Structure 1
Amino acid sequence: MVDLAAEFEAERGHLLAVAHRMLGSRSEAEDAVQETWLRYAKALADPADRAQIRDLRGWLTTTCSRICLDVLRSARVRREAYPGQWLPEPVVTDVPAVDGFAPDPAERAVRAEQLGTALLVVLERLTPEQRVAFVLHDVFAVPFGTVADVLGTTPVAARQLASRARRAVAGPDSPRHTADLAEQQRVLTAFVAAVESGELDGLVQVLAPDVVMIGDGGGHVPAARRPVVGAVAVARFLLGLFGQAARHGGRLVARPVLVDGALGWQAETVYRGQPLRMVTSFAVHDGRVTGVFNQVNPEKVARLAGLGADADWPPRW
């Protein structure tokens, strides 16, 4: 069992990455990985059975993907009954050092595997089968033969599912997010300055014409029940939010973070006498913000570490 655990732990990070991209929930991804471990230990406790597995990562990835597929199928009912708009549970990590914005090839390759909030939101539109096919093949380069085994279909059908998912992901109403960290830093610095100025025209210039803003309050915190779309509408909504926070006497403090690999911030304020925690992430393309994603559902930010004494406003990357 010690050897089994060591081999599994070496693959845990990969499995978490697969599960999170499929499920959009860190807690559900961790549960799926734990279930994968239980099936692995049960199936491979017999040395003879263990010897038949020649590609451990492939076996674990297939098993984890099947578990995720079952979760996705059951989750559709829960998501349809979700109060208001849904955003994924954010995975928050520290911003790299100052030189971390340099275009280092190895660093780019690591971050290229991070989907970001924008794509996770788009993936919610897919059927469970399309999502699994897309994540396995397009994100992790799993052959269609293996994808077909996971889905219980043929390689041709698996290829068609991935193709339909690819078209949906690249659709005209999907927030585009192509900027590297250096460009994200420049754009978000201008975005924060425009918000601080309080001038509508200045903020509109930083936003793409078809920018979309989504807020997830989970029924616990007030948030728009539908996406806010368009530069003018989003700019007015944002300026209203910041003005409202000031009127309620809550001082906003934040620290820059990476949210699913893209720049954003983790913030805290007081709203109507109660502490409010939030994580805001962005999609950036062609020098403008194309998506603003504000996670204020207490259940999805409860596990985040505190901001620390150096938190301030505005955030500076």
Structure 2
Amino acid sequence: MTDEHAQRFSELRPLLFTIAYEILGSATESDDVLQDSYLRWAQVDLTQVRDVKSYLASLVTRQALNALRAGARRREEYIGPWLPEPLLLTEQDASSDVVLAESVSMAMLVVLETLGPDERAVFVLRDVFGFDYDEIAAAIGKTEAAARQVAHRARGHVQARRPRYTPVAPAESARITAEFMTAAAGGDLTTVLSMLAPDVVWTADSGGKASAARRPIVGADKVARTVIGLLRQGAQLPDIRVELGVCNSAPAVLLYSADHLEGVFTFEIVDGLITNFYAMRNPDKLAAVAAAREITRGADV
């Protein structure tokens, strides 16, 4: 490993992490992929690399696909709904890059989870990051024509399932989240209901390792009562603490008992109403929230 190897990789790390995370839906696995890719990069003769960004993106994509395929059985046997690991972000203003904000949203990552591995990688590389088809073909080990076919198929699949996405100004998100939490913590059912879309959905991921609903809860009344009940239970935890943050480019509530993170609850807001809650209770996945991450679709190299 030379200083130049390290510098080039470091410059591209936020981009490479974002690619891996969107393919895997796991910050923990993405870190592992980047570590393995870094070690492989150390053995590369830089005089033979014409485009460092393209080369490293291909390398990370291949390693991410290996990890995705290796974990397929674990996901099939997962207890209850599977959600991506929450991604605590350093950048709170999603409006600066709407494509990036949507691509890491919980709703989009759940849609991407329904794609096959190659479809997911191709969609991410082409529609999110704008790589050329020859670069994508090299990354997935297919011909350029095949990569175009995979992209067309993946795009159609995503378009058919893509939820409506409208970026919300950070100040507005923070206001709605704070008002909702105040009303729910106070047991104000009327106010809570007024802030929910009629078909709002509550989806919880515990992996069978924490108390959580094992099926999505649908409808304003059911979701409102669920949230109020959970906050009432949470208030009984020792040294309870609530923090507001941004996860996956959306407002989020982080619930702590003393210094232990009990859950991350992400809000999805459309037209001023909350349309989805994503509740992460799996302690294995909560470990990824320990540090804020920088994500990007570009790179200055």
- Smaller-chain TM-score range? 0.7 to 0.9
5 Å-filtered alignment, 1:115-154, equals: 115-154=104-143
CA contact (8 A) 1:218 1:297 kept: yes
TM-score normalised to structure 1 length: 0.81
Q: Using the TM superposition, give the Cα deviation of residue 70 of structure 1 relative to its aligned residue in structure 2, in angstroms.
A: 1.4
Provide structure 1 residue ranges, at least 5 long, that are not aligned to the other structure: 45-49, 102-106, 307-317
Q: Does residue 262 in structure 1 map to residue 250 in structure 2?
A: yes
Residues of 1 paired with 2:138 and 2:9: CA distance?
22
Task: Among all aligned residue pairs of Structure 1 and Structure 2, give the percentage whose two residues are the same amino acid.
Answer: 35
The reply to whether residue 58 of structure 1 matches residue 54 of structure 2 is: yes
Q: Does 1:90 align with 2:86?
A: yes
| Contact residue 176 and residue 290 of structure 1 kept, 8 A | no
**1:167-316 alignment runs, 5 A limit:** 167-171=156-160, 174=163, 176=165, 178-246=167-235, 248=236, 250=238, 252-269=240-257, 277-302=262-287, 304-305=289-290
Contact 1:175/1:211 (CA < 8 Å) preserved in 2?
Answer: no
1:29-73 superposed Cα distances (whole Å, 9 cap, x missing partner): 0111111112212232xxxxx222110010000111011111111
In structure 2, distance between residues paired with 1:166 and 1:126: 10
Highest RCO, 1 vs 2 (Cα 8 Å, sep ≥ 6) = 2
The answer for the alignment partner of 1:31 in structure 2 is 32
The answer on whether the counterparts of 2:65 and 2:118 sit within 8 Å (CA) in structure 1 is: yes
Counterparts of 1:207 and 1:198 in 2: how far apart (Å)?
15
Determine the C-alpha separation between the residues in 1 that align with 2:240 and 2:164: 27
How far residue 280 of structure 1 moved from its aligned partner, in angstroms, is 1.3
Evaluate the alpha carbon distance shift between residue 113 and residue 303 of structure 1 in structure 2; reply closer, same or farther with a 3 A threshold. Answer: closer
Quote the offset at 1:250 in angstroms: 4.7
Q: Deviations over 1:278-301 (max 9, x none)?
A: 111121112111211111211222
Shift of the alpha carbon at 1:85? 1.9
SS state of the match for residue 153, structure 1? Answer: coil
What's the Cα RMSD here? 2.7
Distance change (3 Å), C-alpha of 1:89 and 1:134: same
CA contact (8 A) 1:15 1:60 kept: yes
Q: Is the 8 A contact 1:85 1:214 kept in 2?
A: yes
Q: Distance in 2 between matches of 1:153 and 1:279?
A: 39
Conserved? CA contact 1:118–1:175, under 8 Å? no
Q: Deviations over 1:248-271 (max 9, x none)?
A: 45564211111123221211138x
- Shift of the 238–95 alpha-carbon distance from structure 1 to 2, 3 Å rule, reads farther
> TM-score, length-normalised on structure 2?
0.84
Give the Cα separation in 1 of the matches to 2:205 and 2:166. Answer: 20
Equivalent residues of 1:82, 1:218 under 8 A apart: yes
Q: Describe the shift of the 1:296–1:174 C-alpha distance in structure 2 as closer, same or farther (beyond 3 A).
A: same
Please, which moves more after superposition, 61-70 or 196-205?
196-205
Structure 2 unaligned spans of 5+: 292-301
